[in-house]
Amino acid sequence: MTNPLLDDWTTPFGLPPFDVISDDDFAPAVDAALAESRANIAAIAENPDAPDFANTIEALERADETLGRVLGVFYNLAGADSNPAREALQRTFAPLLSAYGSEVSENKALFARVEAVWENRDTLDLTDEQQRVLMLTRRGFVRSGANLAGKAAEDLRAVKSRLSVLGTEFTQNLLADEREWFMVLGADDLAGLPDFVVATAKAAGAEKDAGGPIVTLSRSLIVPFLQFSERRDLRQKAYEAWGARGANGGETDNRGIAGETLKLRQDRARLLGYDSFADFKLETEMAGTPKAVRDLLMQVWEPAKAAAEADAAILEKMLRADGFDGRLEPWDWRFYAEKRRKELHDLDEAELKPYLQLDRMIEAAFACANRLFGLEFAPIAGPAYHPDVRMWDVSRDGEHVAVFIGDYFARGSKRSGAWCSAMRSQQRLSGDIRPHVVNVCNFAKPEAGKPALLSYDDARTLFHEFGHALHQMLSDVTYESISGTSVARDFVELPSQLYEHWLEVPEVLSEFATHAETGAPMPEDLLNRMLGAATYDMGFQTVEYVASALVDLGFHDGPAPADPMQRQAEILEEIGMPHAIRMRHATPHFAHVFAGDGYSSGYYSYMWSEVMDADAFAAFEEAGDPFDPETAKLLEDTVLSSGGSVDAAELYKVFRGRLPGVEALLKGRGLDKAA
């Protein structure tokens, strides 16, 4: 019997045949793919011909094609639709894949061939893209320990293997905590909740078979509950459960995992000759050094903190006016901020939400991509990996560009947050391979027959992730290793954060923000009030983010802390964290940093990219048209199509002529006048 993961896929657009793939297929497919990869690596290393770009670097690009195809399917399912079998497979695969990676990086014959190509690069008549791929390939080997030998190499191998296991455990513990906790709401517990929150709570209760409405730890439900619930005791209970994810004791507690992870990362950096893990990690990013990161964050921290403290004083007065003694607490902030927003801007979520239908916001994201880049989107009816998932054929001028897959609703089998991934990346080395791009979100699923309604923050998230998707879909490179979002971590958020700006374009909202029941467009007065409130509460939002970024940096810029929770508290005290605001991601549930290496020492990157995105959208404003075709073409030709084929700073300078300062960011957040 054949394995569908290893067969040729004759499905439309080469999509995975989800309807015939079972969990039992993954382990044998990974075993077979690893065996094939190992054979390919051995063939490259033992090739008797003199090393050149084709037989060494391009051969390496092709070596893991089957493995990448299998894992592209598996990890998408493991993140978006997990189950006990897939969680067990994650735990099995982590050390296997780490061991394979170490085998490749420690293969001395293989690295010698890479070095030979590198030494002879000036005689090989390489294109600029090939020069870049060669440099990145060699750098990857060196940073993976190719120059180490003996005990140092063995130690590094053990460190990387253990880190892969810990990252998987951290993710699964967090998912378990998020999945298991919920709070049942009785009739007396609904005070202040708008109909859309009650409906969402009922839908969540039906999924859990709880017999009535519930609050879960899904952000799309708990945040509006904290905004509107008049029951301060329930807000506290829900908030503290939300903040305690990964820190509840027992088998799912992540605090020990965080401590061990930080120690092992420091060991890894020292083995490779760096003073700290932050020095190692930031060497390849735009920022370059921990000092550059800290300087940026502190330039933003001080005005954000001043704005937040001024807001806190006002919110605390509102708390006292309601008859509560004591200080404003974290579970109070969103409630009183929502009340104050209505006072200042005559705006509340309940009035706004009917105009932000999920389907219409998807249409808006597509329409902007059409006007900017000429992309068209046609639904695909084929089987997906979950009934909620939707798929589109993306084309331009009649030519297929990509498959876009949208998975929008929260469910117990999906990890929290929102993300973009490519089940298949664009490349031309093995044929004209077009990407399969996935956006995963966690929006509240409506009751059957009702339209899904988004908050404005949800709509921004949808546009954000679609900006990442465009980066993948418009990629135009030869080599997969530099395709799409394979760029510096502090550059990867530029396309996503830049795309959020088009949600704020009045003509976009006028067309697509239509009422769920009447179909009427959002009234101009409401539209103006919504856009006028765009920077409302930005002190709070900036403080909770920058605090997380500073803790991340502090964890990795120096010796590993013996007790991460104590070190977290020390850092927050050093920067003067306001009492009523907590980190956006406390250490035990800081998946960006501890579920893998992706954003470790790099959570700052959203802010670094925001410095650029504020300046990049200004290029359209300077052209006098948010859809200016010449500016859009330049954006695609530089930032969106080039992937990692050119240094990120150089790409940006081609687009804008220079690198920006922090001023545009502060102005965009309304913090330029903060004391």
Q: Catalytic residue numbers?
A: 465
Quick check: 655 and 638 in contact, CB under 8 A? Answer: yes
Q: At how many degrees (to 10) do helices 65-80 and 84-105 cross? A: 140
CA dihedral 74, 77, 80, 84 (to 10 degrees): -100
CB pairs under 8 A, 24+ apart, for 170-173? 170/246, 170/254, 170/257, 170/258, 170/261, 170/591, 170/594, 170/595, 171/90, 171/415, 171/591, 171/595, 172/87, 172/90, 172/91, 173/246, 173/251, 173/252, 173/253, 173/254, 173/257
Count of Cβ atoms closer than 10 Å to residue 390 Cβ? 15
How does DSSP assign 493-546, residue by residue? HHHHHHHHGGGG-HHHHHHH-B-TTT-PBPPHHHHHHHHHTTTTTHHHHHHHHH
- Residues 583 and 565: their CA atoms lie apart, in Å, by 12
Taking the C-alpha atoms of residue 244 and residue 564, their distance in angstroms, rounded to an integer, is 15
List the one residue out of 293, 649, 287, 596 whose CA is nearest residue 419: 596
DSSP H or E run through 182? strand 182-184
Report the amino acid identity of residue 543.
V
HSE-CB of 202 using CA atoms within 13 angstroms: 13
3-state secondary structure of 340: helix
Cβ atoms 239, 330 nearer than 8 A: yes
CB 103 within 8 A of CB 145: no
Angle, vertex CA 222, rays to CA 217 and CA 225, nearest 5:
150
Q: Could you tell me which of 301, 316, 267, 208 has the C-alpha nearest to residue 571?
A: 301
DSSP states of 251-290: GG--HHHHHHHHHHHHHHHHHTT-SSHHHHHHTTSSS-SH
The gap between the terminal CA atoms of the chain, to the nearest Å, is 70
- Distance (Å, whole) CA 559 – CA 575: 19
